Structure 1
């Protein structure tokens, strides 16, 4: 039964009932019936009005957001145009029949330092049924919605996979195109310098912070300057260690757990004997846990001859071959004796200015945080590393290909795109270090020291992580050889890192470029790290990379307006 029919029945009932004289009960009922019906009727009418107002508020909120997006692009719109757009958006969304005629108006206030605003207001009324009996024919409904923009600034960090597999299937060129396009799109949102900042963090196993930072206080040189761990034992130094000096044969030979001798502490040229300088320079460590070369040893042993001599060869076939250039032989035939000085050896690290610029994961649990590095707290610092994998010395100075250096937060769009263009694919996959340094790049602490945030603005912060493979290696050898156990151990660190990033209010987008045949499994850790399911993109062809970045741009632009 309609509200109008109910109202008519109530009036007819009252008309029949009021003349009746059926006793005291009838009199009392007559006294209370009118207010009782008034209360019930008012509740019904107010419910209808509340429903209409709720529908109106939802439509006003959406209309205000859409108008603000239009104004962000075209701030010169006239007042009449703004109201007309607001009306069109509102009428397309509002369908409540209880108040069919809503008047919409919009007021735009330009940015004066704390953001531009648009206020969209709606006014209308709901005709009453019950309350009309007591003299209230309509209930007014009014509301408004205000959207602010321009007080939200954006800071976006791109952690981009630069591993060797990115050279396949056109993945790296597609990434460069997509990343540069995103720089162009986000830069168009910037009306004044500082509205949008972008950083680029290329990563493989390590991240290259730039060799010019070798004097920075945030670097941990402990491992970089240390004597190789395996060599720091008598087991790895030959029994004739004290007899090795200039001209001696290299005491090591490369195998699955060994070393070579290098021409100097910064050379990648292998030598078979100790040079005349007497420097004994262990080279690439090919360790059994990772069948690859690791250029981790940054220094040489000096050789200082003593006055003591020792017999190194005797007999008919005695010779100085393979021994020190200071070796001499005396006697003949079976009485022949060859002697040389003994040597003391002191480990001497390379000069820090020979560092390539690469850093490894911070000590746990700093590897999952963006805490500021603190001088005196070694675990909080970023470990310097010289890295040499499969003879691609991408973190060894003077070699090519080199891991591209990070670009800190910047609105120098040309510099950002030049850094993207220079990226090369080399090395293995360590997504957490890319994520960790991307997060660090958004903060105001070392090593990036991002520009300070102004109090008149809110900030939208986001990290975009793109990778084409599963995690295979990081700083810790036991995580080492690309096995499923290794991947799981690195993934666990990455999940904790992502939890911390999300808790800090940073939005995460993840992209898995999965073009292999057979394809890798869909990455569970990349899905986990995305802020929501819609922020994870599975790319199965390199050409889809641009589409994924375009979708991320649309999401970022909406986030900025919504702030």
Structure 2
């Protein structure tokens, strides 16, 4: 008997099974807890990414004027599209303006694998994000050929439609900030008509046979090399030679403004007449985008670090006449120098050729090859301007 009890005492067979049975519950609880912690971590990261996306989306919609008032619905739609609703339930999303920023908060619950293991109920996760959608300001000048050839093949009518559509498009993307987009217009032939309101300005130079009171508002090319640059007019050589307008039909310039009615009215007032001098139109576009005389209402990058300055130059013909010459190649050389000075000033230059004109020169003048457009018919001017307007809109809203 004694030997039997001693063998029973020393027999450990089945001890592992008993120990495993005793330890199974806490092991399973640890596994469930680890799984729940992993689920929480994954859903927390996913919710944070969704809230980040919502903050950016709502901030952009606020910036471009598409979203005003209650922001919650727009934010919630983005968050819901970026989470797993079968795992994260009880979703709550709020979005508010916090100064210039949009702040989005999101929270939800995850049902644990074992109740009351990691918390007394569902597991709650939350996330917050803040975003500012910085938008560029745009100063844009339309330098538009108003020469006699624009009267043919419906070109002037198409140009008026295209320019008006562009103005309306840019008005739409600036609704929440009145100064977000300003546009100026420079109609040109061989001259530019600055308007008689400037008749007493010191930067004008009258010939002996013309007085301020009899001047009709036009100027011709400045002395070379100032004819292609933005040299401040401070002397006889750098002042602008005043002349009476050669055709009497050239519309006056309109300096940078956000008066949308004035802009569309100016386009409507354009009339084709005269010969072609692209240089003078382009250089007055340059003057309009710089703060020095003769026009002084341009913004600078020092004042507006997010400012983008742009010129759209449209012509339908070759250079035919400037102050000194009727030889196209000589006038082209002045135009190319003006193009170089525009780009050297950090201004983005689009060029548009309508049916005729020096394609090679206009392509070289554009800031990038893709910023040169050629319309083989007048009707193509409208979609070309629509494309450019879209690019400018995206440029303003995508910083």
Aligned residue number for residue 82 of structure 1: 75
The reply to whether residue 206 of structure 1 matches residue 191 of structure 2 is yes
Of 292, 301, 308, the residue aligned with 1:460 is: 308
Q: Residue 463 of structure 1: SS of its match in structure 2?
A: strand
- Is residue 431–residue 467 contact of structure 1 (8 Å, CA) maintained in 2? yes
Query: TM-score, normalising length from structure 2?
Result: 0.70
1:355 is the counterpart of 2:348: no
Q: Which has the larger radius of gyration?
A: 1
CA distance in 2, matches of 1:488, 1:159: 21
Asked if the contact 2:54–2:104 (Cα under 8 Å) also holds between the matched residues in 1, the reply is: no
Q: Please point out which of 407, 413, 416 is paired with 2:254.
A: 407
1:500 aligns with: 341
Structure 1 stretch displaced more, 75-84 or 357-366: 75-84
Instruction: Report the CA distance shift for 1:208/1:82 in structure 2 as closer, same or farther (over 3 A).
Output: same
Q: SS of the counterpart of 2:312?
A: strand
Listed one character per residue, the Cα deviations across residues 281-326 of structure 1 (whole Å, up to 9, x for unaligned) are xxxxxxxxxxxxxxxxxxxxxxxxxxxxxxxxxxxxxxxxxxxxxx
Distance across 1 between alignment mates of 2:79 and 2:147:
49
Query: 1:354-382, CA deviations, whole angstroms, 9 ceiling, x for partnerless residues?
Result: 112111112222222223222xx222211
Kept after mapping to 2: 8 A contact 1:157/1:438: yes
Cα separation, partners in 2 of 1:214 and 1:107, compared to 1, 3 Å = farther
Instruction: Mark the CA change 1:161 to 1:81 in structure 2 (over 3 Å): closer, same or farther.
Output: same
Conserved 8 A contact 2:204-2:239: yes
Structure 2, unmatched stretches of 5+, are 1-48, 84-92, 106-128
- Residues 256-288 of structure 1 show CA distances to partners (whole Å, capped at 9, x for unaligned) of xxxxxxxxxxxxxxxxxxxxxxxxxxxxxxxxx
C-alpha offsets along residues 379-412 of structure 1, whole Å, 9 cap, x if unaligned?
221111235xxxxx41xxxxx4x21110111111
For the pair 1:472 / 2:320, whether they are aligned, the reply is yes
Alignment equivalent of 1:153, drawn from 137, 140, 156: 137
* Correspondence 1:368 to 2:361: no
Counterpart pick for 1:555 among 373, 385, 391: 391
Partner of 1:296: none
Once the two structures are superposed, what CA deviation does each residue of 1:198-229 show, in whole Å capped at 9, x if it has no partner? 111000011001123221111122xx32xxxx
Partner of residue 529, structure 1: 365
Gap regions ≥5 residues in structure 1 = 1-56, 92-105, 121-143, 226-348, 388-392, 395-399, 481-485, 515-519
In the alignment, what sits opposite 1:510?
A: 351
Q: 1:407 to 1:521 in 2, by over 3 A?
A: closer
Q: How does 1:170-185 map to 2 (within 5 A)?
A: 170-185=154-169
Q: Distance in 2 between matches of 1:163 and 1:456?
A: 35
Q: SS of 1:364's equivalent?
A: coil
Q: C-alpha root-mean-square deviation of aligned residues, in Å?
A: 3.6
Q: Deviations over 1:121-173 (max 9, x none)?
A: xxxxxxxxxxxxxxxxxxxxxxx9966334x3211100000000000011001
Q: Secondary structure of 1:537's partner?
A: strand
Pick aligned residue for 1:544 from 372, 380, 385: 380
Q: Does 1:220 align with 2:78?
A: no
Q: Secondary structure at the match of 2:153?
A: coil
TM-score, L = length of structure 1? 0.51
